Structure 1
Amino acid sequence: MYEKTYPEKRFGITLEFLKTHAPPPAQILDLGVENPFSKLLSKEGYSIENTKGQDLDLDQSQLKASSAEITTAFEIFEHLLSPLEVLKSLQSEYLFASIPLKLWFAKAYQSKTDPWDRHYHEFEQWQFDWLLDKAGWDILASKSFTHPVNKIGIRPVLRLFTPRYYLVFCKRKSA
């Protein structure tokens, strides 16, 4: 159904999950600048509006002004200092989000070349669930999956069966 390589495996699982719970056409606010996955969503029939690269910790104006029925946030919340404020600022009724899970055998990710590409949070599943609940979201469905790498060693073997990504479909709680 999808390629077993990165990022095709992750894209395939995420797209299948999204289509299962919110088939196209749907209007989506995608947190993050235009990227290969948001382009794929457009090709699949979704109407995509991306955020403009603003620092979402400091500027949630686009989130508050959006009329999209769905917000997607794929591998975004780990880069934010205050994901709670961003989650509370969303105006959509539904949220699809994914995060890399904290791995006991690996340090938090920090790019050696890009000062903005770092993880301030690497959640355990229960922590992300708690954050979503506190921000006013009910989880309707979830899925976790592995991320094998083509390397030799103990950590690559552990990645064969240790879930690396966690994907959720949420609905805003009733007031």
Structure 2
Amino acid sequence: MYEKTFPNKRFRITLAFLKKHIPTSETILDLGVSNPFSKIMEENGYSVINTKGEDLDNDQSTLKNEKYGVFTAFEIFEHLLNPYTILENVKCDKVFISIPMRLWFSSAYRSKTDKWDRHYHEFEDWQLDWLLEKTGFKIIDSVQFTHPVKKIGFRPLLRYFTPRYYLVYAEKVVNN
């Protein structure tokens, strides 16, 4: 319905991936304050709860106290000092995480004007996989995709061929 008007390719791919695995009857806890993509999820029939802007490295109370069946963290783990603690405190069995991947031709993102808009981590795919495994999750599905930009130059050319985003659906492993 809105897929052709999404601001970018990332939102289209992320929504299609979510719809592939999760029915709209599930309640989603989306890490981070309300944002354009949480609104897109709501417009597509999902019930979404967002965190309230608390420092998630120090305060995981929302993860512990809210009722949700799916956890999402879209482009937020790279801003956290300790995503391991977040995953330890997720109380549902289904997680969707997307990250911007570390690019060999570009340094880590750091805003010069906003002290919070920085990447503490820029993952390679195997690092996110390992983080999920160490916190008891098994990857069910994943996808990598590029993020072309409308600029001229060597790095913009590389962005047409080099995957920039990694999107993962994982489920908690039940140990008997």
TM above 0.5, yes or no, is: yes
> For residues 127 and 72 of structure 1, what CA distance do their matches in structure 2 show?
18
Question: What corresponds to 1:162 in structure 2?
Answer: 162
1:66/1:91 contact within 8 Å kept: no
Question: What corresponds to 2:147 in structure 1?
Answer: 147
Question: What corresponds to 1:14 in structure 2?
Answer: 14
Deviations 1:134-174 (A, max 9, x none): 01111000000000001111000000010000000010111
2:77/2:99 contact within 8 Å kept: yes
Gaps of 5+ in 2: none
Give the secondary-structure state (helix, strand or coil) at the position aligned to 2:143.
strand
1:71/1:95 contact within 8 Å kept: yes
Matches within 5 A, 1:40-79: 40-79=40-79
2:6/2:12 contact within 8 Å kept: no
* TM-score, normalised via structure 2 length: 0.95
Q: Give the aligned CA root-mean-square deviation in angstroms.
A: 1.5
Alpha carbons of 1:6 and 1:152: their partners in 2 closer, same or farther (altered >3 Å)?
farther
Give the secondary-structure state (helix, strand or coil) at the position aligned to 2:164.
strand
Q: Measure how far apart 1:8 and its partner are.
A: 2.0
2:97/2:168 contact within 8 Å kept: yes
Gaps of 5+ in 1: none
Give the secondary-structure state (helix, strand or coil) at the position aligned to 2:122.
coil
Task: List 4+ stretches of structure 1 deviating above 6 A.
Answer: none
> For residues 7 and 72 of structure 1, what CA distance do their matches in structure 2 show?
20
Question: What corresponds to 1:106 in structure 2?
Answer: 106
Identity %: 60
Q: Measure how far apart 1:23 and its partner are.
A: 2.5
> For residues 77 and 162 of structure 2, what CA distance do their matches in structure 1 show?
21
Is 2:32 aligned against 1:32?
yes
Give the secondary-structure state (helix, strand or coil) at the position aligned to 1:12.
helix
1:29/1:70 contact within 8 Å kept: yes
Give the secondary-structure state (helix, strand or coil) at the position aligned to 2:155.
helix
Give the secondary-structure state (helix, strand or coil) at the position aligned to 1:163.
coil
* TM-score, normalised via structure 1 length: 0.96
The one-letter amino acid paired with 2:12 is: G
